[in-house]
Amino acid sequence: MTATTPQAVDARLTRSAIFLVATLNPGPDAEAAARGLCADIAGLTRSVGVRAADDTLSCVMGIGSQAWDRLFGAPRPKELHPFREINGVHHAPATPGDLLFHLRAERMDLCFELSTLIMARLEGAVTVADTAQGFKYFDDRDLLGFVDGTENPVAQAARDATLIGDEDEAFKGGSYVIVQKYLHDMKKWDEIPVEQQEKIIGRKKLSNVELDDAAKPSYAHNVLTVIEKDGEEQPILRDNMPFGDAGKGEFGTYFIGYARSPSRIERMLDNMFLGNPPGNYDRLLDVSRAVTGSLYFVPPADFLEDAE
C-alpha cells in the first residue's frame, strides 16, 4: 500500500455532525457492498457538499479490526485491534463496530443527506450499531457547561498528531480513531458546586482559563488526559460533540479521538478509568457514563478509492 493522501481527519470543527457505527452482515455480498462504498464515499461526499460549498461537508470512514480482515486481509495496519474494555473504578465497555462514518458540516441537512445516501448503499449489508447527531453548543461547550477541545493541535501540529508516518510505512497517511458515547447525569452534576466542578475539569467554567497547577487536583480531567513519552507530550485530536434528547432526558458527549497511534488514547482512558496512580481516577466519570467503545483504522483517501 503506497497511498498517502489522508482523509479529512483534521477538518475543522463544525456546527453539526453525525456519528454512524455499523456492523458488517455475513456473506460476500455484504463485503462487496462495503468495498464499493469505500471506493465511492469521496464522490458521494462531493455530490452533496457541492450544493452548499461554504458549509464544509466532510466524511471520514473508519474500518474496524474484524472488518479489515474480511474486506482487505493482509497486510494490515500494525496497531489495528479491537477496542479494549476497561474494568476499573468505572467501566469502559467495548461494543460492536465494523464501520465508522464521521460526518461534519455547518448544516445538519448536509450530514443527514449524506448519511441517507450511505445507508442506501449499504442496505442489507450492515446493521446499525449506534448513531448520534452532534451539535455545537454555544461557544464550543459541552452539556456540562465547559468548553471542550481547548488544547486541540491545529494545522501541521494536528497532522503530526494524527497521521501515521514512517513507523508504519505501508499505511503512511492513515490514522486511528476511537469513539465512545458518554451519558451525563445532569441532576447529579448540577448539584456539585461550580468550584468543585472546576477542580474536576481543571478549568474555570465561565472563562475557560486553566487552573494553576497548584490548584488542580491530581484527578482533574486535564491532568489525567495529558500523555507523555520520553518527556514530550503525545497529543491527539478530539472532535467531541454534544448530543441529546430532552424529551428522553438524554444528555451526552460523543467522544471521538484521532491519533497516529491508538496507544495514546488508550493510555488516556487507562488513566481516566483505572487511575494514575491506580485508584486516582477521573472524577468526571462519577457523572459521565461510557455506554459504547470501538476502535478503527482510517485509511488514506486514495486507498479507499482503489478499494473496489
Q: Pairing state of beta strands 16-24 and 99-105?
A: antiparallel
Residue corresponding to grid cell 487507562? 270
Whether the CB-CB separation of 46 and 110 falls below 8 Å is answered with no
- The C-alpha atoms of residue 149 and residue 205 are separated, in whole angstroms, by 14
Our answer to whether residue 148 is catalytic in this structure is: yes
Catalytic one of 98, 130, 148, 282: 148
- The C-alpha atoms of residue 132 and residue 181 are separated, in whole angstroms, by 9
Burial of 26 (C-beta count, 10 Å sphere; 0-12/13-18/19+): exposed
Phi, psi of 7 (to 5 degrees): -70, 175
The tally of CA atoms less than 13 A away on the side-chain side of residue 4 is: 9
Q: Which three cell numbers stand for residue 80?
A: 489495528
Alpha carbon separation from 292 to 7, 56, 254, 257 (Å, rounded): 24, 28, 10, 14
Whether the CB-CB separation of 149 and 13 falls below 8 Å is answered with yes
Burial of 286 (C-beta count, 10 Å sphere; 0-12/13-18/19+): middle
DSSP 52: G
- The C-alpha atoms of residue 107 and residue 215 are separated, in whole angstroms, by 40
Q: What residues contact residue 223 under an 8 Å CB cut-off, 6+ apart? A: 202, 216, 217
Could you list the active site residues?
Answer: 148
